[in-house]
Amino acid sequence: MRQMKFVDALREGMIEEMRRDPDVFQIGEAIGGMQGGIFGVTKGLEEEFGKDRVIETAISEGALGGVAVGAAAFGMRPVVEIMFGSLMTLVVDEVHNQAGSLYYVSGGKIPCPMVIRTCNWMRIISGPHHCGNLDATFMNSPGVKLVIPSTPYDAKGLIKASIRDNDPVVFMEYSPLYTLKGDVPEEEYIVPIGKADIKREGKDVTVITYGVGVHDALGAAEELEKEGVSVEVLDLRTVLPYDKDAIRKSVAKTSRVVITYEGYKTGGIGAEIAAFIAEECIEDLSAPILRVAGKDVPCPSNRRLIEGISIGMKDVVDAIRKLMA
Amino acid sequence: MRQMKFVDALREGMIEEMRRDPDVFQIGEAIGGMQGGIFGVTKGLEEEFGKDRVIETAISEGALGGVAVGAAAFGMRPVVEIMFGSLMTLVVDEVHNQAGSLYYVSGGKIPCPMVIRTCNWMRIISGPHHCGNLDATFMNSPGVKLVIPSTPYDAKGLIKASIRDNDPVVFMEYSPLYTLKGDVPEEEYIVPIGKADIKREGKDVTVITYGVGVHDALGAAEELEKEGVSVEVLDLRTVLPYDKDAIRKSVAKTSRVVITYEGYKTGGIGAEIAAFIAEECIEDLSAPILRVAGKDVPCPSNRRLIEGISIGMKDVVDAIRKLMA
Amino acid sequence: MQPTSGEMLGIYETMLLIRTTELKMVELFKKGEIEGHMLPCLGQEAIPASLAKVYADTDYLVTGHRGGGHYVARGCDYNALWAELYGRVDGVTKGRGGQIHLMDMTKKAMTGNAVVGQQWGIATGAGFVARKRGVMVVAVGGEGSTNRGVFHESLNMAAVQKLPILYVIEYNDRQMWNVCSETTAGERIATRALAYGMEGASVDGNDVLAIHAKAAEFVRKIREGSGPCLLECITAKWTDSVSNLRNLPENVEAMKKPDFDPVLRFETRLRIDGVLTDSLDLQIKENVRQKLQGALSFALASPVPDRYDGIDEVYSQPV
Amino acid sequence: MQPTSGEMLGIYETMLLIRTTELKMVELFKKGEIEGHMLPCLGQEAIPASLAKVYADTDYLVTGHRGGGHYVARGCDYNALWAELYGRVDGVTKGRGGQIHLMDMTKKAMTGNAVVGQQWGIATGAGFVARKRGVMVVAVGGEGSTNRGVFHESLNMAAVQKLPILYVIEYNDRQMWNVCSETTAGERIATRALAYGMEGASVDGNDVLAIHAKAAEFVRKIREGSGPCLLECITAKWTDSVSNLRNLPENVEAMKKPDFDPVLRFETRLRIDGVLTDSLDLQIKENVRQKLQGALSFALASPVPDRYDGIDEVYSQPV
Ligand SMILES: Cc1ncc(C[n+]2csc(CCOP(=O)(O)OP(=O)(O)O)c2C)c(N)n1
Ligand SMILES: Cc1ncc(C[n+]2csc(CCOP(=O)(O)OP(=O)(O)O)c2C)c(N)n1
Ligand SMILES: [Mg+2]
Ligand SMILES: [Mg+2]
């Protein structure tokens, strides 16, 4: 099958949707020209679709959030790029209060088909204002969907689904994944929102994760296979609303759970997943639910210090070993 | 002992701190005059302390958040009122990115002694932009403290501790509690940040909660006592960082946990508490961890519909009965 | 370009309908027959009524929290308004949003929001749609909302993109308990437009013809591609909210003067000009009365929602 | 009120120190000896150097992301700057913040932030403190940051409260890959002040004496209680970030012209005026060289932090 980089697959998904539907447009800071945003995701789009559909803006995140809601409410399909994840702090009202409540509070009359894309710029040496991860901020927002792909295939399929979706979607990318290569079919396809994906089957432990975490988990699974431990890797893909059935099934099978995610541990996405399991699947568990996540320390601008607070494959391995002990 | 309303105790705490320390000041929208904010919390403060220490502002929440950080960094102790809880969406960057990281990222050199007070305006008929509860938004913010009192005594003691604290504190009140009366000593006292409080001892079930939830839990405990069920009510008081020891001890004693809070269930504060227990105390548990929380539905402006989505004492009773069955 | 006599009578009728609607709302709230948070635009009726004669049916309307008058003036579903106030299933938002979230998208009217200032960003988004569809946006908010940063971000973005948006400021010098001298710097809100190279003007917001004239001029320019303009209408609200009725005319003598009462003022003007006769006035008032009566009956006949109504409408598509 | 010869030489030395520091930073980054995100102010040195001679030692300084020059001009710990760039424990933030979070509160200087525009709100908070302590605030940001709403909220609040704040805009017509014509409406940023009844002015930001004169005038007014003023300095940055060095003079011919190089321009001026002689110049350059050498040695002698350093410094008090 065709091999593609994550960033190219994602872009291809957006291009297909823009060709299909003239009401889809892109807006954000420095997204135009041949640059196409700091990560090049929208590279070349302006050339094909023009300045009216690939709209450059000032540093005005609040207005960008508002534009998403307003353009969606009045019938277009905006795709907003927020330059990096820690700036999502600046659109919380627009997502949580405005977009999240609109369909319900309008009596089911005003859908809000908007996508806010951003990139969690992790593992770079740039300090806490650049390396944040605001995913958990949108976990307590009814009406909002939170989609986080881990592979080129999912990135393309999920961005297409997100653009077509009639509800507001926060779509989070992870900078270390952009260059990742993977299978991407030539034929059109969609990855449905709300469905998790078993990225690797296993029977002893389930690692529940999303985004970059998936790759840590897959690495850990491979490592542990050598020791005879069979690890299932459950990629949530849609983090809100998350796929409860998939979690239930996997937990029933393995009875052990590790949740891993790159954000700060306390109050992170993993909290909800663990709480759900502790509430609805506790009888299936034979061990504590472990969370492998970043330390609760603002990201420093220093390689050594980053080592001290961040997680990786090894930490997932350690957690699994602990559970199997 | 002296009986006082929650709102008066809270105000008294702030007045004492303003008298004690000339660097404490209040700032917010409509907080001055004899009105003292929509809930009257700062009533009369302008008269005593003048317009320089009780500062009226425009509808500019972003600047208010910035003022908190800047005034704190340069050595004063701002107390900011954000008019109601669902507007906390507008200060997420100031709290999460700026205040939360400042002490750490300055190399432990710039403390940020600010308090942002707000009121979760629950159980009123006013729609989703007024009745939100953004507590969970600040649960994934290292460096931030989240304090939520449930009684007049705690309100006074905790606001004093929060103002004296050298870290940024988000202080959340609940409108239904303002008129609640309770014991408040004449002598000065402080309630330490970071310490939970057993509001009622019990041995069969622990209800972990905070804010208004404490009163639902206490009501439920009383109700269930008649049936011979002994309920322990653990009031977190400081929600971040929360008191892990207190939780551990209580869970070890009762082996059953209900967590109740007024916000939306998914991704709420209860998720973190449940996840902590599922990670560190699972061996002590003899039952699933139940969360009794609001439905994941934006708050409607309609009494009947509010009934359909909100929780109360009865729901806590039901959850406990389920655990005891 | 003064409105025709017919248009003027239309504006007058709209003002009366808003006035009658909101006084009824206040009355029923006081009696406890309807409940919730409600923000009347009593005293400001000239603005929605005049604007509605200037923009086209195909244009978009976005307001903030005090949008009830605009909802009515726009011709949004009037029966559904009353069903909404009564919290019934036939309410325009099925009884969910209440008075501060009135929205009727069949009329392209988002006339509700309760986070002050957020309408400016939303209107900017509507502006991109309007530009594509060849229509324009009328965006409305109080002067207090212009102190929110998103107002400034929106004006800048709209000016750069030359979006077809008429920004309308309802300047009533009050933000809940605050007055502008405590909160708002600069002489006039209209000057805030200049920072973005945008045209701005202030008019007497209790004077129908002044509003109409300037709004019509701006709308023409906008349709010709000028980009956004800003119209500040100086007015006075009689009351902030139904739960805080201190300033109603029955309480405050000054409010009874024609200057404070745009309806009375316009009526006087129409009579002096010979546009309004006694018999016409009677007929218009009867129209308004019937419309209100019809809507009240409609509302009261509409069922109260089931308490679980809507819990499956948080997402538009099942997940 | 022109600076004295001594002050001018001081400004020149500061500019040279900034220039030398940042060129070294670029060089070491290219060599891979230091790493991370760094935003030089090459080409903009006139602004920090001139301002530092206008405000007092007791005043407060708050900048955005491009604050390195202001850190140096303010006289913040120079050795600690280099230890910071090397990520060592003696860095001004113990190697945690890096170049975009340089802050030295012993000098009342918060010269780091990476969320564009947030410095405006923070500076407003500092303004309340300054008002109480009888000092003033110098707040600095790029023109792009004035499109963030909080800029507007801050100007309005500062104007209403008559806070002693000098807002300084470093207008370099670039926001990463964007130019102002794509993003920013209105003629000059200085006019944005007018909306709040605040005085604003634009000066040639590569001209030391122009900046100095206008800033000194504003500072005097502010100390006399005028409330805030806004000074826009038109300049050009040579490069956006160390990881994107396209515009360095070695690459772009135009950058070698004195107009584009404020250091060269000021040097020429000082020579024409007879203030700077060859021997003085040598001495100044030697001072700068020694300062840099000393700091580099200091930095390299400082230990690399333990990987767990700071995980117990998230809160200032144990909980
Ligand atoms: C962002 C925000 N801050 C504060 C409030 C509380 N609030 C509701 S209405 C209002 C005053 C609004 O004043 P203005 O914009 O002038 O409109 P008016 O009510 O006078 O029509 C305030 C402060 C809010 N709803 N949203
Ligand atoms: C709120 C926010 N949006 C976007 C960015 C990404 N960003 C970093 S610097 C920059 C350009 C800033 O331009 P300007 O304010 O003119 O300052 P300059 O870099 O030109 O000195 C942008 C968009 C950011 N850091 N913060
Ligand atoms: Mg007003
Ligand atoms: Mg710039």
The pLDDT tens digits of the residues spanning C23-65 come to: 999 999 999 999 999 999 999 999 999 999 999 999 999 999 9
Equal CATH topology for A3-183 and A197-324: yes
Predicted local distance difference test score (pLDDT) of residue C2? 87
Predicted local distance difference test score (pLDDT) of residue D2? 87
Candidates C124, C160, C169, C199: best to mutate against D (most CBs of D within 10 A) is: C160
Q: Assign D255 a pLDDT band (cuts: 50, 70, 90).
A: low
Q: Assign B121 a pLDDT band (cuts: 50, 70, 90).
A: confident
Predicted local distance difference test score (pLDDT) of residue D213? 98
For B232-249, how does the pLDDT look when each residue is reduced to its tens digit (9 = 90+)?
A: 999 999 999 999 999 999
D144: helix, coil or strand? Answer: helix
Average pLDDT over residues A11-27: 98
Calculate how far, in angstroms, residue B86's C-alpha sits from the geometric centre of ligand 3.
21
Q: Quote the percentage of chain B above a pLDDT of 90.
A: 97
For B176-228, how does the pLDDT look when each residue is reduced to its tens digit (9 = 90+)?
A: 999 999 999 999 999 999 999 999 999 999 999 999 999 999 999 999 999 99
Calculate how far, in angstroms, residue B60's C-alpha sits from the geometric centre of ligand 1.
10
Residue among A82, A91, A57, A72 nearest A24 (CA): A72
Q: Which residue has the tokens 């050199």?
A: B109
| Token pair in block for residue A158 | 């999920």
Tell me the C-alpha to C-alpha distance, in Å, between residue A70 and each of A99, C72, C126, D98, D247: 9, 21, 5, 39, 39
Range in A116-130, A147-161, A242-256, C119-133 with the lowest mean pLDDT: A116-130
Using alpha carbons only, what angle is made at residue C55 by residues C50 and C57, rounded to the nearest 5 degrees? Answer: 115
Residue among A104, A145, A143 nearest A242 (CA): A145
* Contact between chains at D118 and B52 (C-beta distance less than 8 A): no
Average pLDDT over residues A25-32: 97
A215: annotated active-site residue: no
Distance between CA atoms of residues B231 and B221, nearest Å: 5
Average pLDDT over residues B250-263: 97
CB-based burial label for A44 (10 Å; 0-12, 13-18, 19+): middle
Distance between CA atoms of residues C42 and C237, nearest Å: 6
Predicted local distance difference test score (pLDDT) of residue B35? 87
Report domain extents, chain B. 3-183, 197-324
- In order, the DSSP letters of D185-248 are -SS-THHHHHTTT-EEEEEETT-HHHHHHHHHHHHHHHHTT---EEEEEE---S-SBTTB-TTS
Which top CATH class is A3-183? alpha beta
**Is 80 exceeded by the pLDDT of residue B123?**
no
> Which CATH fold topology does A197-324 show?
Rossmann fold (3.40.50)
Predicted local distance difference test score (pLDDT) of residue B124? 87
Give first-to-last CA distance, chain A, whole Å.
40
Q: Assign D253 a pLDDT band (cuts: 50, 70, 90).
A: low
> Which CATH fold topology does C5-309 show?
Rossmann fold (3.40.50)
Residue among A7, A17, A25, A42 nearest A189 (CA): A17
Average pLDDT over residues A128-144: 96
Predicted local distance difference test score (pLDDT) of residue C256? 66
**Is 70 exceeded by the pLDDT of residue D251?**
no
**Is 90 exceeded by the pLDDT of residue C257?**
no
Q: Global pTM? A: 0.98
Q: Mean of the per-residue pLDDT values for chain D?
A: 95
Residue among D39, B138, B33 nearest A136 (CA): B138
Predicted local distance difference test score (pLDDT) of residue D259? 74
For D220-245, how does the pLDDT look when each residue is reduced to its tens digit (9 = 90+)?
A: 999 999 999 999 999 999 999 998 87
| Token pair in block for residue D190 | 């200085």
Chain B residues with CB under 8 Å of C87 CB are 301-305
**Is 70 exceeded by the pLDDT of residue C283?**
yes
Q: Quote the percentage of chain B above a pLDDT of 70.
A: 100
**Is 90 exceeded by the pLDDT of residue D247?**
no
Q: Count H helices and E strands in chain D, helices first.
A: 11, 9
The 10 Å CB-count burial string (b at 16+, else e) for D261-276 is: bbbbbbbebbeeeebb
Chain A residues with CB under 8 Å of C81 CB are none
C87: helix, coil or strand? Answer: coil
Of these residues, A96, A129, A130, A215, which one is catalytic?
A130
For A192-251, how does the pLDDT look when each residue is reduced to its tens digit (9 = 90+)?
A: 999 999 999 999 999 999 999 999 999 999 999 999 999 999 999 999 999 999 999 999
Average pLDDT over residues C136-151: 98
Q: Is D154 on the interface with B (CB under 8 A)?
A: yes
- Could you tell me if A161 and C311 are in contact, meaning their C-beta atoms sit under 8 angstroms apart? no
Predicted local distance difference test score (pLDDT) of residue C251? 65
In terms of DSSP bridges, do strands D165-171 and D137-142 run parallel, antiparallel, or are they unpaired?
parallel
Between A124 and A22, the higher pLDDT residue: A22
Q: Assign C224 a pLDDT band (cuts: 50, 70, 90).
A: very high
Q: Assign B111 a pLDDT band (cuts: 50, 70, 90).
A: very high
**Is 70 exceeded by the pLDDT of residue D249?**
no
**Is 80 exceeded by the pLDDT of residue A137?**
yes
Average pLDDT over residues C213-229: 98
* Contact between chains at C184 and B58 (C-beta distance less than 8 A): yes
Chain B residues with CB under 8 Å of A90 CB are 92-93
Q: Is A255 on the interface with B (CB under 8 A)?
A: no
Q: Mean of the per-residue pLDDT values for chain A?
A: 97
Q: Of C151, C185, C195, which has the smallest distance from its Cβ to D159's Cβ?
A: C185
Predicted local distance difference test score (pLDDT) of residue C255? 64
Report domain extents, chain D. 5-309
**Is 80 exceeded by the pLDDT of residue C294?**
yes
| Residue C176 Cα: closest atom of ligand 1 | 11
- In order, the DSSP letters of C248-272 are STTT-GGGGSGGG-HHHHHHHHHHH
Q: Of B30, B61, B300, which has the smallest distance from its Cβ to C176's Cβ?
A: B30
Predicted local distance difference test score (pLDDT) of residue D214? 98
Predicted local distance difference test score (pLDDT) of residue D300? 98
Q: Where are the beta strands (DSSP E) in chain A?
A: 3-5, 24-28, 54-56, 77-82, 115-120, 145-147, 169-174, 181-183, 197-200, 205-209, 231-235, 238-240, 257-264, 290-294
Predicted local distance difference test score (pLDDT) of residue D306? 97
Predicted local distance difference test score (pLDDT) of residue C252? 65
Predicted local distance difference test score (pLDDT) of residue C247? 67
Q: Mean of the per-residue pLDDT values for chain B?
A: 97
Q: Assign A319 a pLDDT band (cuts: 50, 70, 90).
A: very high
Distance between CA atoms of residues A302 and B145, nearest Å: 25
For B280-320, how does the pLDDT look when each residue is reduced to its tens digit (9 = 90+)?
A: 999 999 999 999 999 999 999 999 999 999 999 999 999 99
**Is 90 exceeded by the pLDDT of residue D74?**
yes
Q: Specify the amino acid at residue D26.
A: V
Give first-to-last CA distance, chain B, whole Å.
40
Residue among D119, D145, D138, D143 nearest D233 (CA): D143
Distance between CA atoms of residues B57 and B63, nearest Å: 10
Judged by CB atoms within 8 Å, which residues 109-138 of B form the interface with A? 127-129, 132, 134, 136-137
- Could you tell me if C231 and C214 are in contact, meaning their C-beta atoms sit under 8 angstroms apart? yes
